[in-house]
Chain A
Amino acid sequence: MSEFSTNGYLDMELLRFTTAGSVDDGKSTLIGRLLYDSKSIFEDQLEAVKRASIRRGNEHIDLALLTDGLRAEREQGITIDVAYRYFATPKRKFIIADTPGHIQYTRNMVTGASTANAAIILIDARNGLTEQTRRHSYIASLLRIPHVIICINKMDLMDFSEQRFNEIKADFIDFAGVIQLVDYTFVPISALLGDNVVDASVNMPWYDGGTLRHVLETLEIGNDNNLVDPRFPVQYVIRPLSDEFHDYRGYAGRVAGGIFKPGDEVVVLPSMLKTRIKSIDRYNGPCEEAWAPMSVTFTLDDDIDISRGDMLAKADNLPIATQDVDMMMCWMSEQPMQLNGKYAIKHTTRDVRCVIKSVNYKVNVSTLEHIHDGSNVGLNDIASVSIRTTKPLFVDSYSKNRRTGSLIIIDEATNRTVGVGMVL
């Protein structure tokens, strides 16, 4: 890592991406290679994995043991949870949300996808598009991951055939139209041999795109946050009550969309009162503007009653204030969803209660068919659902804003998060 100079390294971009798949896809091999080739695996970690691999009687070093952190996972040789991994290249810093790929882990894939700027979908070149490919792509589309990278893996087993690559590519483009995937790119790789992962492949001279690492380093992530629709959920009210800041009243929060500047007129929801931003404060000094996802503190011209769960927006661009919310829901609990059941909801910084009014349809995540079989929504199911809340929520559609279009559903008896929703 001596290639990093201290100064340039202080100002890198951050890219969060998710991977889904099982050991058979070569996913662990791929992640292992990305980490290893960027020198993010250390000697003591590698030694520990070597020792464990030998003890288990494996022929090769099992890189999955690096990511499978829990005892039960190592014993059973499976990944049961989202694991977060970190590496950096001279251009960017990366956070990987690594999730298991089988259908019974849909909730983990959804979890990993929720914070990702990009998704890597692995296709075995021998098999082409499979049920699993369709499922992963659908989840990437449902969770609105801005960029999708399709790695066509095991090209070495198909003689690095350009024709095979183009066949799979054409199949995927057809499918991408169906699920409304917009930004996607293809890379032919061999994770095992390293072709087009970090170094360009000498075996595929016909491929003129970048290596996977190059694609990850150069994806345009500037527009991943909504910079159009101003939304500021109030998180915490700061009142120092000190001699120096006797009358200070600041509204702390994280900008969820758009751009705010001192002097801007803002509307407070739900009161609909108007005021202006006096200053945007941070410890290091005031800001000239604040945008998503900055954590800042606003002071306002007028002394009006504002508390946690309120939202600041602008008169000509308001979120939808509603008690009736239609959404795509992923159910995450072994306890099935109760139609007409009451649940707690967290949306931005706002807490309300809701009742589940109707299940419009469920989605078969492998075939994408809509199922109209009544109201049974269980673990890992994805369904279109309508709810009614006790107080209005200030929402945007999830496709417009991932921060103001997402919510979680909590069982009030167990306090567990049992479902998640994306506002339609």
Chain B
Amino acid sequence: MTKNRILSHLDELEYESIYVIREVAAQFERPVLLFSGGKDSIIMTHLAMKAFWPAKLPFPLLHIDTGHNFIETMVYRDNMVKKLGASLIVGSVQESINNGRVVEERGPMASRNLLQTTTLLDTLEKYKFDAAMGGGRRDEEKARAKERFFSHRDEFGQWDPKNQRPELWNIFNGRKNQGEHFRVFPISNWTEMDVWQYILKENIELPEIYFTHQREVFNRDGVWLAKAPFMTLKDGETFEVKTVRCRTIGDISCTGLTLSEANSLEEIIAEIAATRVTERGGRADDMRSEAAMEDRKKEGYF
């Protein structure tokens, strides 16, 4: 705290996010916090804990489980839920497949990433959640740069980017009709660098896969992907052991790994400061087309 009462950028971002999270708890009847085990949802959970301390979180966590997770993420998730005394709901993509709600993609490029949308919307409807908070950031992807903090979804869970509500000052309009819901992005204004600096400043524990380790991987179109039972090789691809870490965590089928020796938060921050590729540059799901993210978001994706 300085005498001239100017906040640091991390403090200002934190106060803004806490304000948004409290606004969600105040304006909605059944909010939920989407938790993926990735760093963005980890700091979201941390901010929510700070927002309501000394009370516990006034909403549950929701994990949409593709069944294709890194084991480290699941271990981390269960430990964290226990530590916070939070309640966890799991929406299973495997169950959606078993129930015939979605059909599994086939071939070597198959991913359950798209299927998650159906599971997410079904789970929101089942529990009658009216606001789902996520860790989306505007610096991640160009379609997200136009996203509101409070993003309205119609009764089909769809986003209408050309018809968004104006959002001014810090006044958020969460009014809606029956059956509609909101997606809320309290860390909209954070950049990847802010997230890492905040993790360092707050000394937040992360899943081990964010740090350097040896792993069996293969290279597809310039992206390193992890070996897993459900990943099939194409002609010419082979498994090899590399020293890698995750820069972003999605499900295994679409998470590109970075060749890296960074073993501490300071080393990771230095690595990001020097890097010339965005964190989603390794996400196979974004490379499908120029508007891949916008199209997925319109359908109700995270």
A residues sitting closer than 8 Å to B (CB atoms) are: 1-2, 4, 6, 9-14, 39, 42-45, 48, 52, 66-72, 74, 80-86, 88, 92-93, 95, 107-108, 110-111, 114-115, 221-222, 225, 227, 235-236, 238-242, 244-245, 248, 250, 252-254, 259, 281-284, 291, 293-295, 297, 308, 332, 344, 346-349, 402-403, 406-408, 410, 415-417, 420
Q: Which residue of A lies closest to B269 (CB)?
A: A6
Q: 1/0 per residue B220-232: CB within 8 Å of A?
A: 0000000000000
* In the bound complex, CA of A222 to CA of B293 (Å): 38
**A410–B168 touching, CB < 8 Å:** no
**B291–A240 touching, CB < 8 Å:** no
Q: Which residue of B lies closest to A297 (CB)?
A: B53
* B-side contacts of A245, CB under 8 Å: 54-55
A412 to chain B, nearest CB (A): 8
Interface size class of B (residues with CB under 8 A): 35 or more
* A-side contacts of B170, CB under 8 Å: 115, 254, 293, 403
Besides A239-B55, A415-B176, 17 new A-B residue pairs in contact (Cβ under 8 A), listed by A number = A2-B273, A6-B197, A6-B269, A12-B9, A43-B281, A48-B290, A67-B145, A69-B142, A70-B294, A110-B168, A240-B55, A248-B55, A254-B170, A293-B15, A295-B15, A348-B171, A415-B173
* In the bound complex, CA of A88 to CA of B8 (Å): 13
User: 7 interchain pairs (CB within 8 A)?
Assistant: A2-B273, A13-B9, A71-B291, A83-B146, A111-B168, A240-B55, A293-B19
A254 to chain B, nearest CB (A): 5
* B-side contacts of A410, CB under 8 Å: 173, 175
**A83–B145 touching, CB < 8 Å:** yes
Q: 1/0 per residue B163-182: CB within 8 Å of A?
A: 01111111111011100000
**A238–B16 touching, CB < 8 Å:** no
Q: 1/0 per residue B117-160: CB within 8 Å of A?
A: 00000000000000000000011011111100000000000000
**B54–A417 touching, CB < 8 Å:** no
Top 9 closest pairs, chain A to chain B, by CB: A69-B142, A240-B55, A415-B175, A14-B9, A114-B168, A283-B50, A44-B281, A295-B18, A283-B53
**A81–B146 touching, CB < 8 Å:** yes
* B-side contacts of A221, CB under 8 Å: 6
B125 to chain A, nearest CB (A): 20
Q: Which of B33-59 touch A at CB < 8 Å?
A: 49-56
**B274–A1 touching, CB < 8 Å:** yes
* In the bound complex, CA of A93 to CA of B188 (Å): 15
B231 to chain A, nearest CB (A): 23
A395 to chain B, nearest CB (A): 13
Which of the listed residues B10, B13, B14, B18 has the most CB atoms from chain A within 10 Å of its own CB?
A: B18
A234 to chain B, nearest CB (A): 10
A404 to chain B, nearest CB (A): 10
Q: Kindly identify which residue among A10, A239, A284 contacts B200, using a CB–CB cutoff of 8 Å.
A: A10
**A235–B19 touching, CB < 8 Å:** yes
**A69–B294 touching, CB < 8 Å:** yes
B60 in the interface (beta carbon within 8 A): no
Q: Which residue of B lies closest to A14 (CB)?
A: B9
* B-side contacts of A66, CB under 8 Å: 142
